[in-house]
Amino acid sequence: MHGILATESNETRQISKIPSWNMKLVLSFLFISFSLISFSQSKVTLSGYITDSNDGEAMTDVKVYIPALKLGAMSNAYGFYSLTVVPGKYNVEYRSVSYGSEVREIDLTKSTVLSIELGAKVSDSKEVVVNMKKTENVTSTKMGQIELQMDQIKTLPAFMGEVDVIKTIQLLPGVSSVSEGGQGFYVRGGGPDQNLVLLDEGVVYNAAHLFGFFSVFNADAVKSVNLIKGGMPANFGGRMSSVLEVNMNEGNMKKLKVTGGIGAISSRLTLEGPIKKDKGSFIVSARRTYIDILLKAAISDTSPFAGSSYFFYDFNAKLNYKLSAKDRIYLSGYYGKDVFNFSDKKGGFGANMPWGNGIAAFRWNHLFSDKLFMNVTTTFSDYMFKFGSQQDEFRFELASGIRDIGAKVDFSYFPNPIHRIKWGADYKYHTFTPTSVTAQNDTTVFDTGAAQKLYSHEASAYVLDEFDLNDQIRLNVGLRYSAFAHVGPFTRYIKGDGISTQDTTIQYQKGDLIKFYHGLEPRVSMRWLLPDNSSIKAGYAYNYQYVHLTSLSAVSLPTDIWFPTTDIAKPEKGWQGSVGYFRNFFKDKFESSVEVYYKEMKNLIEFKEGALPGDNVSDNTDNILVFGEGRAYGIEFFFKKSIGRFTGWVGYTWAKTERRFPDINEGNIYPAKYDRRHDLTLVGTYKLNERWTFSASFIYATGNTLTLPSSWYVQEQNLLFNYGPRNSTRMAPYHRLDLSATLYSKAYKTKTDPATGKEIDVKKKYRSNWSFSIYNVYNRMNPFFLYVDNDGDFLSGNFKLSVKQVSLFPIIPSATWNFEF
Amino acid sequence: MEFRILTKLLFGISMLLMAVSCTKEVQIDIPGYKDQLVIDGSIETGQPAIVLLSTTNNVYSPTNFQAYLEGFVSGATVTISNGVETDTLTEICSDNLPPGTEEIAAAFFGLPVDVLVNMHLCAYISFGMFGEVGKTYTLKVVNNGSEYTATTNISTPTPLDSLYWKPEGSYTDRGFSWAKLSDPSVSGDSYAWQVKLAGMSNFSRTFNPFFNDKFFNGQTFDFAYENPMSFDDPMGDPEYRGYYKLGDTVIVKLSKIGKKEYNFFEKKYNQIYSAGNPFSTPTNIPTNIQGGALGIWVGYSPWFDTLICQ
């Protein structure tokens, strides 16, 4: 136990030693891989883009497969595919998640560019459309990776009618929520900051509205969601635990379309359409809550909290345009803000607290050849939190945030069907503002020091090759190199003891290099195909993380501070190994998997015990941080039915997550606050007919850990508490059942064909649906937090201490009306 | 003190949450209880040292008045030393108080006189040594074979430049007490603010009575404090709570304390205001006592001034 979680003895070293066998293995595979490419004989290439015939959107992860050769390729995030084969005439199968399989006979005597549209036949059919996905569950090297389709997410029960991407991924094995209704999610024992959340490749630093109860992702603007929770490929980095890729819709290339919805707490409207048909399109989507109006009605004028209000809004926009057959550009943007006003008339106290994200990404796709695809991305990401208050004569303002400007380039090379090679580089310039404070009492301005800003460069480069060693074994071998430089201007505060040493500072000028870290991150994953439609997969990933989220509270809040690696705060680093068995049944109707993982993490960050908000004012935040390590391990079972009227999944996870910090809990190992031994989810959707779809989800999870007072004492007539060991108390288990039903309007109307005089069914331009949800059907009072309450007084003899449980959400029915035309 | 505003906001949010949520009592296992000695000791310029000894109680143990009384520790050996002399403190009990000290003792324990004199509450007092400016005092407690020590200092007091009163808002006869303070240029000065109205025997503490010079080191500045006594007056008009009224005579006591002692009180008040708040981190209150006890040994260096509200 102690051996595994042993503290690094030499704290001064900058680069972690990756085991030499590890590096040799990766380099050997890369060498073999590139050697094999050179043996490729004269061949022809079939390439092009795959789009949806209904709206012209690029289709991701469509399998292009030639049964005669048993060779195939997948379309990438931009719909591009490339398959190099020996010349011949072939039946080529295009398999998509949404539209099933479509076969084209293609004469490949020479290299051919064939961009195709999928889905026309199915969309015209009046038959019930069911999911026809041919799963890649067994055959791909991906493990710990799950893609979710928005159509599926939209039919699941939604809290207060708000379709929510994050809450859906929390239903997957290995992923757990921070708390009741929380948006923060923990993946395989990692913290919320160890998840890289990307919106069209721009980093999202705060993915939550309303203190975590709602996601920043407007479901109408989202096209697809992809979660990588283990075996992270080399083209991703910068976080230790997972990658959540959220891709926005591109906008309808064919016609103008309006969608929207009116819900219990918010409404939304989306407009999309062609800029030029089949050349370019746009989408704009906006959403706003009316919680402030509801709150105003709920809080009476005589309440001490009268005047308190809250609302959020967000805005998504995206443009794309095909400049030529080889060039396409995209411009994506997101802006969202939460505003909370708090009023306590009794205490004469008022506060205003706005926070939010702004994200922009510009991308350029270029085809150098039918085998070489390039994507260049420039990104801007900004997250800010502000707090202003006034009590009597005292005025106080606080701000914190993070801003990134970055660029990256990614190449995809498809030399032959055996190899799929990627390489690229990434750069970001970070500006962190952990805390900026101004305070004034009447005319007296307090000295809160200059606003702390920290500047840093982060860069990385990678190469990976996914290749088939033989018919059974496929390998994905990659190597990533990352580097981080903390640069000036910067003021380092060095605290003296006030007796033999006094406080001093070191002043770094603009551009001064304060500290440099770098390291190699090998990534390997393997699939070994077995008979009976099954496979064994294994993966290993080493990761560095140079930005950290520090939190003073037991729950995730916008007040949490993003903080960079510095000379004191070292980069988080760690590895994860996983092994899994995957098997599909009944012609891929059912898919299943069992995965075992083990993860170690070093240089994790927490605030010192007893740290208070503001302790980092006129000081460096890392002076009040402590550092430790952690480990997590578990086993995940997943059983899914993705074809037919009834679809859904069952997931179960047994896991353990521990931490050890020399300066916390007297140096003893303690469970992480999101340590959960058991986590069970059941999700089901039944499509009764063209008009009705029913869904249900059930969750059972071991209760969260927390720290409560174990004893009380009295000092100067005040009752004080002494807390027990860190996270030694566990709340009651969490379980909840949600149900939903969606009623669609009739999709077709009957018309007389003027040519034949017969009655025919014509698809309606205008469609709508009612979505009914019941959250927490059996009204379980799940614990949100516990606290020790005291009531009465000593003298009257009725003084009493008790543990109180606060539960947030009882049974909540909701209805949302959605429309499109 | 400024950041308690943020704590206050988070507390307010949790109150809002509780207002819209469901709360019920639960029985849950809370491991980690340790029986520990609690030392509550102080010494002030011109005053004897007073030390109370008690023990911690399990959070699930009875919390009635009898349990509180049984928590006091009697029979310990308590000494203080100023580096030259040592004095052994005398244990005196509330049911055997020297004549004339009943009211002081009642205020000290926070109990009515008639209740106190019928109790057996004991304190240790240094009748042979009184606090002096510039001296360091070491406390030693021996109880049940265990030894606990702590050191504190009585430094030079910081005088207030002036005191004044001004009406607040639309009121003409109600307002806060204001003070002008010139903080010495050395960083780390920490203060305790106490007040009483003329005629009262004991000082009261404001809601946030402890502050340090982190944000005003070496500056001269004005600040206001509320009237804490008004909250204890059941007959007072709730609208005027917190204010001094025109004509009040207020005696102010600004005491200088050490850094470690300030740290104790800062964390203590933070715990009082954030206990049970899910947005706060569980905070054990640090101590300056060696040997495994909880509590504080603090030296106060007071400066007194009088304000007539006019």
- At A308-349, the pLDDT tens digits run 778 889 999 999 999 998 899 999 999 999 888 877 666 566
d(CA B128, CA B48): 8
In chain B, residues with a C-beta closer than 8 Å to the C-beta of A392 are 168, 176, 224
Closest Cα of chain A to B273: distance in Å? Answer: 11
Which residues in chain B have their CB less than 8 angstroms from residue A785's CB? 278
């206001």: which residue's tokens? B224
Q: What is the DSSP string of A241-291?
A: SEEEEEEE----SSS-EEEEEE-SSEEEEEEEEEEETTTEEEEEEEEEE-H
Question: Higher-confidence residue: A127 or A366?
Answer: A366
Q: Are residues A708 and B59, on separate chains, in Cβ contact within 8 Å?
A: yes
Cis peptide before A233 (omega within 30 of 0): no
Q: Which of A257, A284, A282 is nearest to A268 (CA)?
A: A284
Residues in B touching A391 (Cβ below 8 Å): 5
DSSP 8-state assignment for residue B242: B
More reliable by pLDDT, B222 or A136: B222
Mean pLDDT across A767-795 = 84
Instruction: Answer whether residue A557 shows pLDDT above 80.
Output: no
- pLDDT bin (cut points 50, 70, 90) of residue A6 is very low
Q: Note the helical H segments in chain B.
A: 4-20, 65-70, 102-109, 113-116, 259-274
For β-strands A222-228 and A785-791, DSSP reports them as unpaired
Q: Nearest residue of B to residue A713 by CA position? A: B56
Ramachandran bin of B216, using left for φ above 0, alpha for ψ from -120 to 50, beta for the remaining angles = alpha
Tell which of A180, A387, A444 to mutate to test the B interface (max B CBs under 10 Å).
A444
Yes or no, beta carbons of B56 and A713 under 8 Å apart: yes
- Inter-chain contact A790–B63, Cβ cutoff 8 Å? yes
- From chain A, the residues in CB contact with B223 under 8 A are 441, 444
CA nearest neighbour of A539 among A108, A143, A35: A143
- The answer to whether residue A13 scores a pLDDT higher than 70 is no
| pLDDT score, position A10 | 37
A702-747 per-position pLDDT tens digit: 998 988 899 988 888 788 999 989 999 999 999 999 999 999 888 7
With beta carbons less than 8 A apart as the criterion, state whether B233 and B275 touch.
Answer: no
pLDDT per residue rounded down to tens, chain B (310 residues): 444 455 555 555 555 555 556 888 898 888 888 889 999 999 999 999 999 999 998 888 877 777 777 788 989 999 999 999 999 999 988 888 777 777 777 777 777 778 777 878 888 999 899 999 999 999 999 999 999 999 999 999 999 999 999 888 778 888 888 999 999 988 789 999 999 998 887 888 888 899 988 778 888 888 888 888 888 777 888 888 888 989 999 999 999 999 999 999 988 988 887 765 666 677 789 999 999 999 999 999 999 999 999 8
- ipTM, two decimals, is 0.89
Output the pLDDT for position B13: 58
More confident residue, A382 or A37: A382
Amino acid at A403: R
Q: What is the pLDDT of residue B210?
A: 92
What is the CATH code for B36-154?
2.60.40
Alpha carbon separation from A55 to A64, A746, B31 (Å, rounded): 21, 21, 60
Specify the residue for token string 């009493």: A800
CATH annotation of A40-121: 2.60.40.4130
Superfamily for the A141-740 domain: TonB-dependent receptor, beta-barrel domain (2.40.170.20)
Q: Are A130 and A100 in contact (CB under 8 A)?
A: no
User: What's the confidence (pLDDT) of residue A112?
Assistant: 85
Q: Which residues of A touch B25 (CB under 8 A)?
A: 802-805
Q: What is the C-alpha separation between B170 and B165, in angstroms, rounded? A: 15
The answer to whether A595 and A626 are in contact (CB under 8 A) is: no
> What is the rounded average pLDDT of the residues A248-258?
90
Q: Are the beta carbons of A787 and B30 separated by less than 8 Å?
A: no
Question: Is the separation of the CB atoms in A236 and A77 below 8 Å?
Answer: no
Interchain CB distance below 8 Å, B17 and A808 = yes
**Chain A: residue nearest B27 by CA?**
A803
Task: Please tell me the distance in Å from A298's CA to the nearest CA on chain B.
Answer: 10
The model's confidence at residue A412, banded by pLDDT at 50, 70 and 90, is very high
Nearest to A291 by CA among A357, A259, A338, A358: A338
- Choose from B118, B174, B279 for mutation: most chain A CBs within 10 A: B279
Q: What is the arithmetic mean of pLDDT over A626-640?
A: 94
Would B36-154 and B160-259+304-308 be classified into the same CATH topology?
yes
Between A372 and A183, the higher pLDDT residue? A372
Residue A130: its pLDDT value, please? 37
Give yes or no for a contact between A342 and A309, defined as CB atoms under 8 angstroms apart: no
| Calculated CA dihedral for residues A746, A748, A752, A756, nearest 10 degrees | -150
Determine, for residues A447 and B216 on separate chains, whether the beta-carbon distance falls below 8 Å. yes
- Whether the CB-CB separation of B211 and B5 falls below 8 Å is answered with no
**CB–CB contact B26 A609 (8 Å):** no
* Residues of A with Cβ-Cβ distance to B224 under 8 angstroms: 392-393, 441-442
Distance of CA A763 to the CA centre of its chain: 36
Higher pLDDT, A570 or A310: A570
Cβ atoms of residues B129 and B87 within 8 Å:
yes
Mean pLDDT, rounded, of chain A:
83
Q: Tell me the C-alpha distance between B180 and B163, whole Å.
A: 6
Chain A residues within 8 A of B30 when measuring between CB atoms: 708-710, 724, 728-729, 803
Overall size of chain A counted in residues: 821
> At A154, which amino acid appears?
K
DSSP-assigned letter for residue A321: E
Question: What is the distance in angstroms between the Cα of B246 and the nearest Cα belonging to chain A?
Answer: 19
Architecture of domain B160-259+304-308: Sandwich (2.60)
Q: What is the spatial distance between Cα A176 and Cα A455, in angstroms, rounded to a whole number?
A: 33
How close A528 comes to chain B (CA, Å)? 47
Residues A718, A741: Cα–Cα separation, whole Å? 54
Query: How far A546 CA lies from chain B's nearest CA (Å)?
Result: 25
Q: Do B2 and A347 touch (CB under 8 A)?
A: no
* A223 closest CA partner among A375, A370, A58, A362: A58
Q: Using a CB-CB distance cutoff of 8 angstroms, which residues of chain B are in contact with residue A503?
A: 187
Helix axis angle, B259-274 relative to B4-20, nearest 10°? 20
Is the Cβ pair A441, B222 closer than 8 Å?
yes
Element (H, E) at B218: none
The whole-angstrom distance between A795's CA and the closest CA on chain B is 6
Q: Please report the pLDDT score of residue A636 as a whole number.
A: 94
Instruction: Work out the average pLDDT over A548-562.
Output: 72
When CB atoms are compared, the residue of A557, A707, A798 closest to B282 is: A707
CB contact under 8 A, B222 and A609: no
Q: Running DSSP on this structure, what letter comes out for residue B110?
A: T
Which of B7, B24, B27 is the closest to A613 by Cβ?
A: B7
Confidence of residue A444 (pLDDT cuts 50, 70, 90): low
What pLDDT is stored for residue A25 in this prediction?
Answer: 54
Answer with the residue of higher pLDDT: B168 or A356: A356
> Which of A43-52, A189-198, B24-33, B233-242 has the lowest average pLDDT?
B233-242
- Nearest by CB to B223, from A441, A617, A716: name it: A441
pLDDT higher than 90, residue A513: yes
Contact B282/A708, CB-based, under 8 Å?
A: yes
Contact B60, B44 (CB under 8 A): no
Contact (CB<8Å) B6/A613: yes
- Cα-based distances in Å from A731 to A171, A179, A696: 20, 11, 25
- Would you call B295 and A715 a contact, using CB atoms and an 8 Å cutoff? yes
* pLDDT for the residue B100: 73
Domain residue ranges of chain A, discontinuous segments joined by +? 40-121, 141-740
pLDDT at A447 over 90: no
From start to end of chain B, where are the E strands?
22-26, 37-44, 48-55, 57-58, 77-81, 86-88, 90-93, 122-130, 136-143, 146-153, 160-167, 174-182, 190-197, 204-212, 220-225, 244-245, 249-257, 294-308
Contact B280 A707 (CB under 8 A): no
**How close A210 comes to chain B (CA, Å)?**
12
Asked if the Cβ–Cβ distance from B278 to A806 is below 8 Å, we say yes
Q: In this predicted structure, what is the pLDDT of residue A538?
A: 93
Give me the residue spans of the domains in chain B.
36-154, 160-259+304-308
Q: Which residue does chain A place closest to B296, by CA atoms? A: A715
N- to C-terminal Cα distance for chain A? Answer: 61
pTM above 0.95, yes or no: no
For tokens 């050697």, what's the residue?
A: A35
More confident residue, A644 or B277: A644
Please give the single-letter amino acid code of residue A214: F
Q: Is A755 left (phi over 0), alpha (psi -120 to 50) or beta?
A: alpha
The reply to whether residue B224 touches residue A392, judged by beta carbons under 8 angstroms, is yes
Per the DSSP assignment, residues forming a β-bridge with A186 are A176
* CB spacing of B294 vs A723 below 8 angstroms: no
| The domains spanning A40-121 and A141-740 adopt the same CATH topology | no
CA distance A683 to A651: 9
State residue A399's pLDDT score.
84
Cβ–Cβ of B271/A720 closer than 8 Å?
yes
